Amino acid sequence: MAKRIDVSDLNVYYGQFKAVEGVTMTVEPRSVTAFIGPSGCGKSTFLRTLNRMHEVIPGGRVEGKVLLDDQDLYASDVDPVAVRRTIGMVFQRPNPFPTMSIYDNVAAGLRLNGVKGRKKLDEVVEKSLRGANLWNEVKDRLNKPGAGLSGGQQQRLCIARAIAVEPQVLLMDEPCSALDPISTLAIEDLINDLKSQYTIVIVTHNMQQAARVSDRTAFFNLAATGKPGKLVEIDDTHRIFNNPSVKATEDYISGRFG
């Protein structure tokens, strides 16, 4: 189920502006890869190219290749909507569908995929909420609005919604930055549980979080404002944090810039 991502020589544009340049990397399945780097270096932009979300932005354009196992995600016969279903995304601000119940939030993607029948839906909703470590807190109020949960619960609800459709990859853009430390640890535990089944990429500004939660870390950097962001290096997290190959990585991690 979990798949490998192979990116080669990717350039990402907003109109004429090249935001990210020349990224080549492999994201390993059944593991967590963290993206770190200073603000504006293109982490979110690059992340969104991995499930073809970038091109929904007017002027958004991508050059290069992204393979999911052997499938070229940008091949002309590939349906971007199907890609977005296979590669789920969790955003910085929890964004449950505000008027929908907790149950319907989790079931929404399944219904879009044509899953019918109360029994099947009940099963998947429970399994996903358990998977997101939220079931015990919400099982007695599944018909209440998702927007009535705490921020940390809403983020776990969004994760339940994302995993309900059994994606092959889960992309998370600063999923904990709006959360308190306890909810943050709950999400980190959850990421650790999920990685046995999924390929996970997480963007984070929190160095401790990257060190705690990821197996591999990619450091992105920016030469100057207005220049494209680049991947500086990607390696085992332990190595990036203890013995990086590039001085800029060490400077960033030790807080000398960014």
The least CB distance from residue 208 to ligand ATP, in Å, is 16
Interface with ligand ATP, residue 44, by CB under 6 A: yes
Scanning 24-32, 36-44, 121-129, 241-249 for contacts with Mg ion by CB under 5 A, the matching segment is 36-44
Binding mask 7-26 for ligand ATP (x = CB under 6 A): -------x--x-x-------
SS3 17: strand
Q: Residue 36 — φ and ψ, nearest 5°?
A: -125, 165
Interface with ligand ATP, residue 56, by CB under 6 A: no
**CA atoms of 9 and 15, how far apart (whole Å):** 19
Query: Among residues 33 and 44, whose Cβ is nearest to Mg ion?
Result: 44
Among 3, 43, 156, 161, binds ligand ATP (CB under 6 A): 43
Report which of 192, 254, 257, 182 is spatially closest to residue 224, judged by C-alpha positions.
Answer: 257
Asked if 201 and 47 touch (Cβ cutoff 8 Å), the reply is yes
Angle at 205 between CA 237 and CA 221, to 5 degrees: 75
Site for ligand ATP in 124-183 (CB under 6 A): none
39 interacts with, out of Mg ion, ligand ATP, none, CB within 5 to 8 A per kind: ligand ATP
19 interacts with, out of Mg ion, ligand ATP, none, CB within 5 to 8 A per kind: ligand ATP
41 interacts with, out of ligand ATP, Mg ion, none, CB within 5 to 8 A per kind: ligand ATP
Query: CA-CA distances (angstroms) from residue 93 to 66, 193, 195?
Result: 27, 22, 22
Interface with Mg ion, residue 44, by CB under 5 A: yes
Among 57, 82, 112, 223, binds ligand ATP (CB under 6 A): 57
Tally Cβ neighbours within 10 Å of residue 41.
26
Report which of 168, 219, 159, 245 is spatially closest to residue 23, judged by C-alpha positions.
Answer: 219
Query: Among residues 44 and 49, whose Cβ is nearest to Mg ion?
Result: 44
Q: What kind and span of H or E run contains 202?
A: strand 199-203
Tally Cβ neighbours within 10 Å of residue 201.
27
Scanning 42-50, 99-107, 190-198, 245-253 for contacts with ligand ATP by CB under 6 A, the matching segment is 42-50
List interacting residues with ligand ATP (CB under 6 A). 14, 17, 19, 39-45, 57
